[in-house]
Structure 1
Amino acid sequence: MKAISVNLYGKQDLRLESTELPPIGDHEVLAEIVTDTMCMSSWKLLQAGGSHKKAPADLATNPVMLGHEFCGKILQVGAAWAHRFSAGQRVIVQPALPRESPFVPGYSYRYIGGNSTAVIVPAEVIDLDCLIPFEGRAYYEGSLCEPLSCVISAFDAQIHLIPHTYTPVSGIKQGGSLLLIGGTGPMGLLAVDYALHSDRKPKTLVVTGRGEEKLQRARRLYPSDEVEVHFVNVSGMSVDEQAAELRRLGGGGFDDVISMVSVVDVLAMAAGLLNRDGCLNQFAGPQDASFTVPINLYDVHYNLVRVVGNSGGTPDSAALAAKLVAEGRLDVAKVVTHVLGLDAVAETTQDQPVIGGGKKLVYTHKAFDRIDLDAVDPASPLGGILAAHDGLWSPEAEAWILANMPDITVPD
């Protein structure tokens, strides 16, 4: 079977081309991919090429399919999985395979990645429970389960102690104070949504960001009657000024801090804002392998503060994300700001840092230039659909793209 895919051959070398998929084996699944959402991790992979921890060193002769936030439907099931999956079933993939090898879909495999019209799901993905059924309304919702799973895992990675013991409990402190640093990007906004609508909620949520326009949008999209929410514009504020304002809003400090940035003085400040038994999560992945931040070990010893981190989600967090999205408890459409066809993937991946905005949503079977949702003509058919949904992406918008945009083609 021929697929059309965006393949990585090395640093700054992405190619849109036909890929011949071999017949599947008994322990594999053939799937059609409909959507993929972009992650800055793909930009980092493009900059590093074969030197990236998750990429094979011989990319020039062993290219990989790019993209790891994808959703599609099963076309064919190998005999070993016929009892568990069926053709036509919608599925997502948790790319962070729970094993020692760093190789994962979207970074490391020849025949599975989100920026392809079809993929072969290998046996290890299914063996590790990382091929997950999805029952949501639209494919884009399934794609966004992967970044949401990373957020859920970050919340699960938080650790607190049962009072007067050293027995740890997973999760943010119920009814406590939570600070999201740099939380107005797409991952941060998914974290806001999860904090407001999961079973374990803080009493106070403080979110920092830069740029009043982004903060105003977040205030409009994420109100709450249950949680006291503050969005703080830290542009132009010194670290000391930030610390004073955040301490005031947090009631003296924070039980939980999740950082979406890798900035030394900001993280040092964050550690100093922790309450007794507080927990700091370094969520953002530093590009510098020697990235180091001074932490007060006196507080670690006497005030029981701790630092944790997580890279990617888990099969359980992906399954929970799929459930929450399908139930409508979280509206992941709020983080989508651009849509594009497969032919615009290479350029958009490279330009992610300068494009800005939230998630870039790829329709893999379509060919069209990147569309900024804020710039869509309100008088156009797509503009009318957006207006009916308060400017947000929707199943109706997805259906319009699938019905009206031209199909992708690549010369042989």
Structure 2
Amino acid sequence: MITKAVRLYGKNDLRLESFELPPIREDEILARVVSDSLCMSSYKATSQGADHKRVHNDVAENPIIIGHEFCGEIVEVGEKWKSEFKPGQKFSIQPALNYNGSLDAPGYSYPYIGGDATYIVIPHEVMELGCLLPYDGEAFFYGSLAEPMSCIVGGFHANYHTTGGSYVHDMGIKEGGCMAILAGAGPMGLGAIDYAVHNELRPRLLVVTDIDDARLARAKELFTPEQAAQCGVELIYLNTAATPDPVAALKELTGGEGYNDVFVFAPVRPVVEQGDAILAHDGCLNFFAGPTNPEFKAEFNFYNVHYAATHIVGTSGGNTDDMIESLQMMEKGLINPAAMITHVGGLNAVIETTLNLPKIPGGKKLIYTGIEMPLTAIADFAKLGETDPFFKGLAEICGRNKGLWSAEAEKYLLENKAQ
């Protein structure tokens, strides 16, 4: 089987190449990748090369396929797995394998498996660890978004609360409590709003802050207070940059009690300290945003830690159960992480996009590996459609879906652009 893939050879050395995959062994699976969502982690691996903890030292001689947020279809199943998996079955991958203590992961460490490829060989450890996840949703791109969505799910599960006199931690957000998502109108914040409103364990009050009116307006358009109210959640959007005293304003929304759960979605010291200042008794601050500076610090009120039982957690990624929960909620139509996606492109766009990911505004960049198409912002479809019938069709489809990517858009793209 000939595959076409983007491979990493060293620091900032990415190459789009065609090569032959080896025949699968009895404990492996051959699969076709349809979609991959580009992640900042791939940019970090690309910029660090062999210095990255998941990339092997001999990557120059044995290049790896990048991409770890992917979804596709099984093509051929080795004898060992024929009772569990079938050709034609859709799948998603949990890349955090933790196989025998190794940090190896698809998209970082393997020569024949990664999201930015047309065909891959799935190694035995993926199946043995339960990380090849069947997916029954309508669109492939949802399967790609299961990994970033699982990070949000994991964050919500990691929060905890306590009861006086007991040393048992009650895991998860406080049901019927007050929650704040600070700097929450970005792509991951939108996913968190969606999950907070539609998960079984919900707050009664959810306040989402940002410092950009346009981002807040877009978030409010996608997740309206009226829709949240139908789920029993009072949803409020607040521009803290336009508020003279953000801490006082935020606490006032809770009747002065503060917030049981606070999620910080930007690695910015004032935002972290703002989150600390609005915690209620036994309030849990989740530092969700991953800083690039290993010396990042912020002040925390330790008087409240001692006397008000406030506490802090941090999460990085989700586990397999979190991915399964994400997939199941998407299959049932309970959440729609399409709000994360702002750009779409083909395999030919991967190298330039990955190398420049921090400089490209917007949210998730979605790649369809079986097509050629420059990375294109969904917001630009209408303008391009004035001279290109293909983009005109895409613009019309997205226009019917609040400007979001959708199963209908994916189907149209694959029918008109597939190689």
Q: Which moved more, 1:310-319 or 1:55-64?
A: 55-64
Q: Residue 229 of structure 1 corresponds to which residue in structure 2?
A: 235
1:248 aligns with 2:252: yes
Measure how far apart 1:298 and its partner are.
2.8
Contact 2:222 2:402 in 1 (8 A): no
The more displaced of 196-205 and 383-392 is 383-392
Range that drifts further, 16-25 or 138-147: 16-25
Q: CA deviation at 1:13?
A: 1.7
Give the SS at the match of 1:47.
helix
SS at match of 2:280: strand
The answer on 1:135 being equivalent to 2:136 is yes
CA contact (8 A) 2:209 2:237 kept: yes
Task: Give the match for residue 413 of structure 2.
Answer: 401
Superposed displacement of residue 98, structure 1: 4.3
CA distance in 2, matches of 1:109, 1:246: 47
1:67-96 deviation line (CA, Å, top 9, x unaligned): 111100101111111111111100000112
Deviation at 1:149, TM superposition (A): 0.8
Counterpart of 2:19?
A: 19
SS across alignment from 1:277: strand
What SS is found at the alignment partner of 2:333?
coil
Partners of 1:4 and 1:17 within 8 A in 2: yes
Partner of 1:90: 90
Matched, 1:201 2:202: yes
Give the aligned partner of residue 61 of structure 2: 61
1:88-121 superposed Cα distances (whole Å, 9 cap, x missing partner) = 1000001122453222111222211111111111
Contact 1:254 1:275 in 2 (8 A): yes
Amino acid at match of 2:105: V
Distance 1:116 1:152 in 2: 27
Secondary structure in structure 2 of the residue aligned to 1:292: coil
User: Which whole-Å CA distance do the structure 2 matches of 1:219 and 1:51 have between them?
Assistant: 42
Q: Give the whole-Å Cα distance in 2 for the aligned partners of 1:109 and 1:382.
A: 35
Return 244-253 or 280-289, whichever deviates more.
244-253
> How many angstroms does 1:275 deviate by?
1.2
Deviation at 1:164, TM superposition (A): 4.1
Structure 1 residue ranges without an equivalent (≥5):
408-412
User: Aligned-pair distance for 1:197?
Assistant: 0.2
Q: How does 1:148-187 map to 2 (within 5 A)?
A: 148-187=149-188
Q: Is the 8 A contact 2:150 2:326 kept in 1?
A: yes
Deviating above 3 A after TM superposition, structure 1's stretches of 4 or more consecutive aligned residues are 234-238
175-184 vs 69-78, which moves further: 175-184
Residue 347 of structure 1 is matched in structure 2 by 352
Conserved? CA contact 1:98–1:314, under 8 Å: no
Query: What secondary structure does 2:362 align onto?
Result: coil
CA RMSD of aligned residues (A): 1.8
Distance 1:394 1:26, change over 3 A: same
SS state of the match for residue 247, structure 1? helix
After superposition, give the CA deviation of every residue in 1:349-369 in whole Å (9 maximum; x if it has no partner).
Answer: 222222211211100010011
Q: Give the aligned residue type for 1:93.
A: I
CA distance in 2 between counterparts of 1:309 and 1:117 reads 35
Are the aligned partners of 1:206 and 1:250 in contact in 2 as well (CA < 8 Å)? Answer: no
Aligned to 2:301: 296
**Alpha-carbon separation, structure 2, partners of 1:229 and 1:245:** 15
Supply the distance in 1 between the matched residues of 2:174 and 2:98 (Cα, whole angstroms).
Answer: 26
CA gap 1:9/1:30 in 2 versus in 1, 3 angstroms: same
- Inter-partner Cα distance in structure 2 for 1:356 and 1:265: 23
Partner of 2:146: 145
Residue 315 of structure 1 corresponds to 320
Q: CA deviation at 1:171?
A: 0.6
Q: Describe the superposition over 1:153-188 as per-residue Cα deviations: whole angstroms up to 9, x where unpaired.
A: 100000111454221111100011111122112111
Partner of 1:410: none
Task: Give the superposition deviation at 1:314.
Answer: 0.9
Equivalents in 2 of 1:137, 1:5: separation in Å? Answer: 25
Residue 202 of structure 1 aligns to a residue whose secondary structure is coil
Q: What is the TM-score when the length of structure 1 is the normalising length?
A: 0.93
Encode CA deviations 1:112-162: one digit per residue, 9 max, x unaligned.
111111111111111111110000011011111111111101000001114
Aligned mate of 1:375, from 373, 380, 395? 380
Task: Tell me whether 1:42 sits opposite 2:33 in the alignment.
Answer: no
Helix, strand or coil: the match of 1:30?
A: strand
Per the alignment, in what secondary structure is the counterpart of residue 356 of structure 2?
A: helix
Pick which of 389-398 and 186-195 moved more. 389-398
CA gap of 1:237–1:63, structure 2 versus 1, over 3 A, is: farther
In the alignment, the residues of structure 2 paired with residue 291 and residue 102 of structure 1 have an alpha-carbon distance, to the nearest angstrom, of: 24
Aligned length: 405
Name the SS of the counterpart of 1:347 in structure 2: helix
What is the TM-score of this pair, normalised by structure 2?
A: 0.92
Letter in 2 for 1:335: M
| Distance in structure 1 (CA, Å) of the matches to 2:126 and 2:235 | 39
**Structure-2 separation of matches of 1:159 and 1:219:** 28
Which ranges of structure 2 fall in alignment gaps of 5 or more residues? 387-391
Q: How far apart in 2 are the matches of 1:53 and 1:289? A: 15
For 1:107 and 1:208, the matched residues in 2 are separated by 34
Match of 1:333 among 310, 335, 338: 338
Matched residue type, 2:252: R
C-alpha deviation, 1:236, in angstroms = 6.4
Which letter maps to 1:8? L
* Other-structure match for 2:401: 389
Quote the Cα distance in structure 2 between the aligned partners of 1:138 and 1:351.
27
Structure 1 residues 88-97 or 386-395, which shifts more? 386-395
Q: Secondary structure at the match of 1:112?
A: coil
